[in-house]
Amino acid sequence: MLMFSPTPMNCSEPFGSFWESQETTSSGTSPLTPEEKAVVEHYSLNHKLTETGRYQVALPKQDQPFKLGESRQQAVRRFLTNERTLLRKNSWEPFRDAVEEYFV
């Protein structure tokens, strides 16, 4: 239901309190976690603009790699299934080209 009021309404009061509740800290952003700081530092030290106009960023390496557990056999089985599917659909070469782009 839509209601009209014959008296003028001051819209700044309700909206003002809304915007005040939505404001962040005085700096405009929340403080970064140590991990986020490391990501920003890595980016600033390891990015470049290529001749083609694309940005290139080296992937960061963790000091202590994440343990994957006993999932190798399952991962190999999934990879081989995906590979057979791509070969059957004649989609292997575009997929290979897309993956190779990440390793160049």
23-61 tens-digit pLDDT: 544 455 678 999 899 889 999 999 999 999 998 988 887
Task: Please state the domain extents for the chain.
Answer: 71-104
pLDDT digits (tens, 9 = 90+) for 58-101: 888 777 777 778 888 999 999 999 989 998 988 888 888 888 88
Length of the chain in terms of residues written: 104
Which 3 state secondary structure label does DSSP give 99? helix
- Name the 3-class secondary structure at 48: strand
d(CA 50, CA 56): 7
Instruction: Say what the pLDDT of residue 19 is.
Output: 59
Rounded Cα distance, 96 and 75, in Å: 18
DSSP-assigned letter for residue 49 = E
